[in-house]
Amino acid sequence: MNTFRDKVAVVTGAGSGIGQACALAFAKEGAKVIVADIAVAGGEETVRMIKDAKGEAVFVLSDVAKSVDVNSIMTMALKTYGRLDYACNNAGIGGPAMTTGDYREEDWRAVIDVNLTGAWLCMKYELEIMQKQGSGVIVNMSSILGKVGFATASAYVAAKHGLIGLTQTAALEYATQNIRINAVCPGFIYTPLLEKAGMKIGTDLYTQISNLHPMKHMGTSEEVANAVIWLCSDAASFITGHALMVDGGYTAQ
Ligand SMILES: NC(=O)c1ccc[n+]([C@@H]2O[C@H](COP(=O)([O-])OP(=O)(O)OC[C@H]3O[C@@H](n4cnc5c(N)ncnc54)[C@H](O)[C@@H]3O)[C@@H](O)[C@H]2O)c1
């Protein structure tokens, strides 16, 4: 497929799970991809997978919570490929499972720093390029937990709710500048993030969480990537400020 031929996409947290699936999906559509991640092995693996499929990609080692690193992602996009058409601000962490009162301040700050401030920093640099270019599409990776609460995940829930508000606000600000900004809200998707949170396939928790979805199973990273690609495509040309649920019905209950 060549829908995105000659276009350039940045994906943060592209070394694993949903971000990796998004990077592969952009490349499959013909885009050149900037693979950004704090983890070298995963980032390089994603680039290798894209190149094996005859796509183009480069890896940038970066922590989205650090302004200087985020600047280097966007500089790499411009230096290597000369433009930036799509950005999927996906990097995120889960944080420890604890009730709100027991949450440690450093854990709270770490989750907000990566999941909310990190996405805002990315937008700040992406928007500067897109404004000059006169076009662009941004998709922020929120969650069902950007719409509803989840006991023991207050920092994550606060960050993902904040990300939807940020998405809507920026969408209003740039609506007349040919820049669309949306969010995707996945249900539980089986990735290393969930494994780290103790939801490995075969455990009781995995079954319990799967059953929270009306479809009675978790989603796949590819199903989320499909939504990201669609929101970036011209098929979604009148859609901005939207939070698209990709959740097997979780939030319809
Ligand atoms: N898996 C789910 O069920 C689910 C559901 C809803 C939303 N999400 C969101 O989707 C996104 C991706 O999650 P995933 O499940 O693929 O997780 P994952 O742990 O598999 O991948 C996350 C990637 O982000 C990278 N990363 C972490 N901190 C970073 C930082 N500071 N700077 C740059 N890269 C960083 C990690 O190295 C990793 O490669 C996250 O924002 C997450 O909150 C996940």
- The pLDDT assigned to 1 comes to 60
Give the pLDDT score at 196. Answer: 87
Which atom of ligand 1 lies at the shortest distance from residue 190's CA?
1
Q: CATH number for the domain including 18?
A: 3.40.50.720
Average pLDDT over residues 111-118: 98
Closest residue (by CA) to atom 23 of ligand 1?
A: 13
Domain membership flag for residue 211: no
Residue 63 Cβ contacting ligand 1 at under 6 Å: yes
CA-proximal residue: ligand 1, atom 43 (nearest): 92
Task: Indicate if ligand 1 lies below 6 Å from the C-beta of 194.
Answer: yes
Pick the catalytic residue: 81, 86, 156, 206? 156
pLDDT tens string 171-229: 999 999 999 999 999 999 999 999 888 899 999 999 999 999 999 999 999 999 999 99
Which residues lie closer than 8 Å to 225 by C-beta, 6 or more apart? 18, 21, 22, 24, 25
What is the model's pLDDT at position 46? 98
Please report whether residue 139 resides in a domain.
yes
Determine whether 156 is an active site residue: yes
Q: Whose CA is nearest to atom 36 of ligand 1?
A: 13
pLDDT the model gives residue 197: 87
User: pLDDT digits over 120-178, tens only?
Assistant: 999 999 999 999 999 999 999 999 999 999 999 999 999 999 999 999 999 999 999 99
Mapped onto helix, strand or coil, the DSSP state of residue 56 is coil
Model confidence pLDDT, tens digit, residues 40-93: 999 999 999 999 999 999 999 999 999 999 999 999 999 999 999 999 999 999
| Residue 2 predicted with pLDDT over 80 | no
CA distance 144 to 160: 8
In a domain, 112, yes or no: yes
Our count of domains for the chain comes to 1
Structural domain including 184 reads: 8-189+221-244
pLDDT of residue 38: 98
For residue 169, the tally of other CB atoms under 10 A from its CB is 12
**From the CB of 201, is ligand 1 less than 6 Å away?**
no
Regarding the beta carbon of 12 and ligand 1, being less than 6 Å apart is answered: yes
The pLDDT value given to residue 230: 98
In a domain, 227, yes or no: yes
Has residue 120 been placed in a domain? yes
Which residue lies with its CA nearest to atom 22 of ligand 1?
A: 13
Is 154 part of any domain? yes
* Phi then psi dihedrals of residue 86, to 5 deg: -130, 140
- Provide the pLDDT for residue 83: 98
192 pocket-lining for ligand 1 (C-beta < 6 Å) = yes
**14 within 8 A of 22, measured Cβ to Cβ:** yes
Determine, yes or no, domain membership for 212. Answer: no
Does residue 206 sit within a domain?
A: no
**112 has pLDDT over 90:** yes
What's the number of CA atoms in the CB half-sphere (13 Å) around residue 186? 25
Say if pTM beats, i.e. exceeds, 0.95. yes
Which pLDDT score is estimated for 13?
98
Instruction: Tell which atom from ligand 1 comes closest to the C-alpha of 17.
Output: 16
Residue 206 Cβ < 6 Å to ligand 1? no
